[in-house]
Structure formats: C-alpha cells, structure tokens
Amino acid sequence: MRNSPIKDSDLETYAFTPCLVAQRGLLVTLKKDGRVRGLQGEIEPSRPLYQQVILFTRRAATRDPRFPPLSDADLDGMVIELAIIGERTRVGGPSEIRLGTQGVFLEKWGRRALFLPGLAAKQGWTPERTLDELCAQAALPRGSWSESARIEVFGAEMIVGGAPAEASPSPPPQPPASPPPGPQRLRSWDNGMIDDLNVSRRRSISPASCASFSGFALALSTPSALPCARAKT
C-alpha cells in the first residue's frame, strides 16, 4: 500500500462523472470486524471528490497516528465508509440543531471538531451535550461554545462498501439440442421457413466497469466526456 501510490497516468483511461470532479469535503473511515482502523478527512471542499477519496483512504490506512498502519494482509474483510459533506449552515446555538438528521461542526480559536449526522443522536445526547463533547474533542473548555464559537450544521451522503468481489467464471456454452427424428411441425404463418425447434441465442452482459482505489472499488456511473482533473501527490 505504501510502495505503489496511484499516479495521474493510472486514471487517464477513466471518464469521471460530474459528481466525482466536484469539489467536496470528505471523511473516510476504515473498519474491520466492526472496529475502526483508520479515520481521515477534511470538511472543506478543497479538491475534486475522486482525489479526496484517493488521498484520505491512503492516509486513513497508513497515517492515522491513533492506529497501526494497515498492510495488504489487512484488506480482507475491510469496510470503507465515505461521508461526503453536504451544504453547511451557520447556526446561533443548540436550539437550531437537529441531531437526527444534521451533523455538527464547531470552530473556536483555530481549533475544530465535528460529529457526523446521527452520531450524537445515537449516543442519546442533547444539543448542549453535543456541543460540550465537540469542545472536548477540540481541546477547548466545556461550555466555551456559548461565546464566540462558530457552529455549523450540515448533511452528509454516506457510501459504505468493501473490496470488489472477484467475478465468478461463466459456465461454458451448451450446444443446441438436437431435433428429434421424424417430420417437423411448421407454423402456418412462416411458409415453412421457421420450425418450432429454433433455439434463441443468449447474449451475456458484461459487468459495469470499476476503478479500484487503494483496494476498494468505486463504481463509475455513465461515462462522460469530462477530462480527468490532475491528482495532487
């Protein structure tokens, strides 16, 4: 994972949809057996989404100081969660926060912390408790959110998946059945040119193409003619 970084040339054969080239904030969480093994991201929409996925998936796997770096042997059973940050709205206090559907972002004195939508509600916290916990995450005094802190709420689109499954081999084609002996019955409308024993051929449909980012598949929807943005290394 460390010795084979994705290069611009690896992506030149793919056509990215507008949602992948749009600049978005993103948080990437890696989990195995239900336990977090890495979490990295940023709330600011500083890069195209596909670049954010590449960058923060690799950082979550190899540079999160809270967890040992992952190796290729850890990828089996790994689950990746992408939280694509939506529109952010500044609010004046806890009365304007809807914990069930909104994430919460707090910033004060250059320190930041956030909770994704649903996390505080799952803990059973009130909006006030949520802001206190954000202060603690940002190494700020509890309750300091009430003075000069920037508080924002936001939505997030969640995408969860694992490593791409290996395609199972297709069964070998079967030869058409031999017609039984004896005269064949003809349809009255085909003037004797088509018999009842014609076998229609089946056409196989190839699976949708995928681009593999650090061992995880990001399915590309309908290809467009948009050029690939250059990835920052």
Please determine, for residue 205, whether its predicted confidence score (pLDDT) is greater than 80. Answer: no
Total residue length of the chain: 233
CATH 3.30.1490.150 residue ranges for the chain: 89-155
210 — pLDDT class (breaks 50, 70, 90): very low
pLDDT: is 98 or 204 the higher one? Answer: 98
Taking alpha carbons only, the member of 81, 137, 127, 136 closest to residue 104 is 127
Q: What single string gives the DSSP state of each residue in the chain? A: --S----HHHHTT----HHHHSB--EEEEEEETTEEEEEEEESS--SBHHHHHHHHHHHHHHT-TTSPPP-GGG-TTEEEEEEEEEEEEEESSGGG--TTT-EEEEEETTEEEEE-TTHHHHHT--HHHHHHHHHHHTT--TTGGGTT-EEEEEEEEEEEEESPPPPPPPPPPPPPPPPPSSPPPB-TTTTTSSBTT--PPP---PPPPEEEETTEEEE--S--SPPPPPPP-
Mean pLDDT calculated for residue range 22-46: 96
CATH superfamily, domain 89-155, is Hypothetical protein ph0010; domain 2 (3.30.1490.150)
Residue type, 150: R
| Residues 22/28/31/34 CA torsion (nearest 10 deg) | -90
Sheet-wide strand order for 103-108: 35-42, 26-32, 78-91, 150-162, 103-108, 111-115
Q: What is the pLDDT of residues 40-90, one digit of tens each?
A: 999 999 999 999 999 999 999 999 999 999 998 898 999 999 999 999 999
Read off the pLDDT of residues 118-142 as tens digits, 9 standing for 90 and up.
999 999 999 999 999 999 999 999 9
Residue identified by tokens 């500044």 is 90
Give the count of beta carbons closer than 10 Å to the beta carbon of residue 147: 7
Q: Average pLDDT, whole number, for the chain?
A: 78
Residue ranges, CATH 3.30.700, the chain: 1-77+205-233
Q: Which of 102-106, 160-164, 227-231 has the highest mean pLDDT?
A: 102-106
Identity of the residue numbered 90: R
Provide DSSP, 202-213: P---PPPPEEEE
Q: What pLDDT, on the 0 to 100 scale, is given for residue 8? A: 73
pLDDT digits (tens, 9 = 90+) for 154-189: 999 999 998 666 656 666 777 766 655 655 444 433
Domain 1-77+205-233 class in CATH: alpha beta
User: What is the pTM (predicted TM-score) of this model?
Assistant: 0.67
What are the distances in angstroms from CA 60 to CA 34, 69, 74, 139? 16, 8, 13, 22
